[in-house]
């Protein structure tokens, strides 16, 4: 602006496209777990003229359907005939909630690696494969040769979706028991004794006072008055303890 004296003034004006009346909504198809088979169908309303669509806000196309999508968050854009732009953000989530895994266990006998787990998968699509480490998968659903401990098991369906479960195997040693018949020592002497009797379990027994050194004999003599821990061992594994207080 210039006045009659030649003085000049100025201002800055920013014109913004009136795109408040253009909007974008979407219908989504979730990808199966781990796959790029999700899709989004966009619908634009408002604005003027024909629409074009974009995933990056730079490259626009006439199609309103975007396919081959993995799980994730996407920005979509629409541009009308006047150049007005609308946008929306959409998150695709893998559809794997229907896949589950359960296990039926057979407990190992005391100290042995004869436990097993039989897995059952439900949901998902296609055939199943199973794994103990989440890396190597096999067609069998039974894992054997297991010792007592906690295991993670995995299942993968035909679409690549993965489910998992945790199973704890506890040694089944409840059938082995140990009792003792004592002969009390005379006052101040070391002439007490204990005769142990083991029941249950399998195979031959060995016996110990310290849980380290085991012997075939079930009789411990030369004992003074006191409290003793006696243990029974089967196939080199301690399965049962017997506490005894010998009084004079």
Kindly report the average pLDDT of the chain as a whole number.
Answer: 82
Q: What average pLDDT does this structure show over 155-173?
A: 82
d(C-alpha 17, C-alpha 24), whole Å: 17
pTM of the model as a whole: 0.46
Q: Is the pLDDT of residue 34 over 80?
A: no
Residue 236 binned pLDDT confidence (cut-offs 50, 70, 90): very low
Residue 243 binned pLDDT confidence (cut-offs 50, 70, 90): low
Q: Is the pLDDT of residue 169 over 70?
A: yes
Specify the pLDDT at position 201.
Answer: 66
Percent of the chain residues topping a pLDDT of 70: 81
Q: Is the pLDDT of residue 184 over 80?
A: yes
Name all domains of the chain by residue range, CATH numbers in brackets. 23-92 (2.60.40.1080), 100-169 (2.60.40.1080), 177-246 (2.60.40)
Q: How many residues does this entry show for the chain?
A: 248
d(C-alpha 55, C-alpha 79), whole Å: 12
Residue 238 binned pLDDT confidence (cut-offs 50, 70, 90): very low
* Nearest partner of 75 among 56, 100, 52, 103, judged by Cα: 56
Q: What is the DSSP secondary-structure string of 97-111?
A: TT-EEEEEEEPPBTT
**196-220 residues labelled b (16+ CB within 10 A) or e (exposed):** bebeebeeebbbbeeeeebeeebeb
Tokens of 228: 């003793």
Map residue 209 onto helix, strand or coil.
Answer: coil
Q: Is the pLDDT of residue 197 over 50?
A: yes
Neighbours of 26 (CB within 10 A): 16
Percent of the chain residues topping a pLDDT of 90: 36
Helix, strand, coil shares of the chain, percent, nearest 5, are 0, 50, 50
Exposed/middle/buried for 61, CB within 10 Å: 0-12, 13-18, 19+?
A: exposed
Beta strands across the sheet bearing 149-156: 129-131, 149-156, 162-169
């Amino acid at each position: 602006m210039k006045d009659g004296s030649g003085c000049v003034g100025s201002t800055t004006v920013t014109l913004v496209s009136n795109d408040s009346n253009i909007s974008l909504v979407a219908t989504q198809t979730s990808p199966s777990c781990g796959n790029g088979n999700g899709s989004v169908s966009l619908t634009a309303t408002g604005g003027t003229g024909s629409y074009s669509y974009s995933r990056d806000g730079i490259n626009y196309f006439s199609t309103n359907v975007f396919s081959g999508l993995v799980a994730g968050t996407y920005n979509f854009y629409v541009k009308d005939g006047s150049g007005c732009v609308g946008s929306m953000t959409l998150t695709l989530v893998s559809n794997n909630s229907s896949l589950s895994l359960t296990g039926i266990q057979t407990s190992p006998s005391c100290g042995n690696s004869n436990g097993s787990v039989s897995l059952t998968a439900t949901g998902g699509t296609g055939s199943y494969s199973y794994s103990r480490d989440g890396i190597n998968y096999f067609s069998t659903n039974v894992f054997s040769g297991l010792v007592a401990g906690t295991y993670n098991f995995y299942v993968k369906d035909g679409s690549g979706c993965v489910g998992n479960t945790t199973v704890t195997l506890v040694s089944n040693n409840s059938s082995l028991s140990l009792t003792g018949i004592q002969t009390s020592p005379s006052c101040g002497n070391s002439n007490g004794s204990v005769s142990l009797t083991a029941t249950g379990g399998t195979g031959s027994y060995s016996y110990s006072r310290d849980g380290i050194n085991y012997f075939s004999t079930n009789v411990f003599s030369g004992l003074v008055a006191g409290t003793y821990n006696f243990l029974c061992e089967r196939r080199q594994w301690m399965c049962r303890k017997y506490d005894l207080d010998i009084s004079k």
